[in-house]
Amino acid sequence: MREMRPLGSVIQGSLSKGLEVRLHADVLVEEMRVGKFLVVQGVRSHVFCMLSDVALGTASQRILASPPDPSNIFLQEVLAGSGTYGTVDLTPMLMFTPTDDNDLGEWGYEGKKTGKSLGKANGLASYETNSSAPLQLLPVKTIPGHFSQVYDASERDFRAVFGWEDDVHRRNFAIGQPIDMDVPICIDLDRFVERSNGIFGKSGTGKSFLTRLILSGIIRKQAAVNLIFDMHSEYGWEAVSEGKEFSTVKGLRQLFPGQVQIFTLDPASTKRRGVTDAQELYISFDQIDVEDLVLISRELNLSEASLENAIILRNEFGKSWINRLLQLSNEEIQEFCEVKMGSKSSIMALQRKLTRLAELKYIRNSCPHNYVNQILETIDAGKHVVIEFGSQSNMLSYMLATNVIARRIHASYVRKADRFLQSKNPSDRPRPLVITIEEAHRFLDPATAKQTIFGVIAREMRKYFVTLLVVDQRPSGIDNEVMSQVGTRITALLNDEKDIEAIFTGVSGGASLRSVLAKLDSKQQALLLGHAVPMPVVVRTRPYDEQFYKEIGDTAWESLPDEMVFKAAESAIADLGF
């Protein structure tokens, strides 16, 4: 049996509402924290649970009516554990039942030395015990009986549930540790890239650092290739770390110099940050379709009538419709409307508002070079692409470029996937692609999700080998249908009730996890749940520091040219206004 001390006994509960546990007299209520990982030892099975609530109880109402004097320590100690006690609510997550009558306390797993992965059973891991009976982690279908003892989860429990990072059978990546233990919590990157995923949290909770962690793991483990739309230039070369004193952390290009390529929509800004080999990227008017204008209609203040007339113009002039529109005089617009049954006022308003696009640094009337094809060639070569926006990071600029580029890349992947499905040739199989977007609710709100390429990708899952990694502080702004397709959700602190509710869209048992999410610390804590983890768990996220660089990266900071380091630091300071 388990060597650690029991914390309490199950006194009541149900499969749907969870278990209520009365703590033993020698256990302090203050030791119980929401989000802890506990194990209930039943007669035939163990149940892994998450602590979702803590409460105080009394055996008699007389104690509440006449509580002991604060100075009467003796009476308080007499009542503790009998007259007064603590209770905790547990949410069952996983269970295992050996196939013979083994002692359930014997796990036979001691890290890499004796642990042996047996693959997966029902999508969950299977491990070997000391006997010949396999240990299978299964969904909870029953609950332990009255007075079953509850224990703190051990390191072996965590490793059995979440695996270990150097498991040769899976691409596991350690994203953090439990809130009260020093043992890695791993996510299965193969399962992670199978579906679209989300990283959520209010401003200042470290979403960018979480995103950088995940992207680093995908690159290191070669689980997929990344296309990152870097709105604030935080993922490519370097980013400003959080804290009172100014400092910077490495971007993906520094950690994986041979595997990451930066494309920039603002070459001058990128060069100031010390990146001298970034590829320039431009978009021409003939690459912009009406679909792209629908997405930015609020930014341009375009009416429905203007968009309808844009379709008429596109049907008449083809890909060059914007260039032709901007060149039309009032008389020519009048003549066009008489022939094509358009609205002169709407077309003139459209013409006036589209002139704003010409002010963007990366927009050209025409581009002799196909930059999107260059990005595709880079991705096909197995390199990860970061697209920096520099000073072009306003929402109009970001949403336009992101939608135009992603739409063309997705179309290319659809063709590749169809060819692979026809040939069945492994050499035709496209590399799985993960597209990272920030401010995701602007692309995936209910009004536009069905019309933008990102809504299409989210609903298709991995049909065409393309998935999304959405980063957002307002998950309630994302369409419910899209949220239901988000496979794994990594969520930092959220306060808004609508945002918390949105996180649990399509998640069974989400009600019991709401209190866990609402009580996270504002820094370096996150709730993991979904397709890539066997059960929901709260983690202290892995530090993104020098130790992480050594463990994950391909190069050391010291090996980079000094002039690149100094230029990057000077640019970051200038951008902050110092």
Q: Is the alpha carbon torsion for 267, 268, 269, 273 positive or negative?
A: positive
Residue 265's nearest CA partner among 301, 236, 224, 291 is: 236
- Identify the H or E element spanning 94: strand 84-96
CATH of the domain at 406: 3.40.50
306 and 272, same domain (yes or no): no
| Per-residue tokens: 555 | 């190069």
Identify whether the C-beta of residue 22 lies closer than 8 Å to the C-beta of residue 12: no
377 and 417, same domain (yes or no): yes
* Per-residue confidence (pLDDT) for residue 524, from 0 to 100: 87
Identify whether the C-beta of residue 159 lies closer than 8 Å to the C-beta of residue 176: no
Among residues 140, 162, 184, the one where a domain terminates is 162
Q: From CA 24, how far away is CA 250, in angstroms rounded?
A: 48
Identify whether the C-beta of residue 535 lies closer than 8 Å to the C-beta of residue 163: no
373 and 405, same domain (yes or no): yes
231 and 375, same domain (yes or no): yes
- Which amino acid appears at position 17 of this protein? K
Establish if 252 belongs to a structural domain: yes
Q: pTM for the whole thing?
A: 0.83
Establish if 44 belongs to a structural domain: yes
Q: From CA 170, how far away is CA 217, in angstroms rounded?
A: 13
Q: From CA 123, how far away is CA 118, in angstroms rounded?
A: 12
Establish if 273 belongs to a structural domain: yes
482 and 466, same domain (yes or no): yes
73 and 200, same domain (yes or no): no
- Which amino acid appears at position 82 of this protein? S
The contacts of residue 522 (CB under 8 Å, 6+ apart) are 204, 205, 493
Establish if 155 belongs to a structural domain: yes
340 and 309, same domain (yes or no): yes
Establish if 314 belongs to a structural domain: yes
376 and 269, same domain (yes or no): yes
**φ, ψ for residue 156, nearest 5 deg:** -65, -35
214 and 335, same domain (yes or no): no
Among residues 300, 331, 359, the one where a domain terminates is 359
Residue 483's nearest CA partner among 228, 203, 198 is: 198
Q: From CA 112, how far away is CA 117, in angstroms rounded?
A: 10
What is the distance in angstroms between the CA of the first residue and the CA of the last residue of the chain? 61
* Per-residue confidence (pLDDT) for residue 245, from 0 to 100: 67
Establish if 56 belongs to a structural domain: yes
Q: How far is CA 199 from CA 207, 467, 538, in A?
A: 7, 14, 14
- The residue range of the domain holding 48 is 8-162
pLDDT, block means (10 residues), the chain with 578 residues: 80 92 91 89 90 89 83 80 88 76 40 38 40 64 92 86 83 90 91 93 89 94 94 87 75 91 91 86 91 89 91 91 91 88 90 91 89 91 93 89 91 92 88 92 85 85 87 92 90 90 80 81 89 90 90 58 47 44
What total of structural domains would you count in the chain?
3
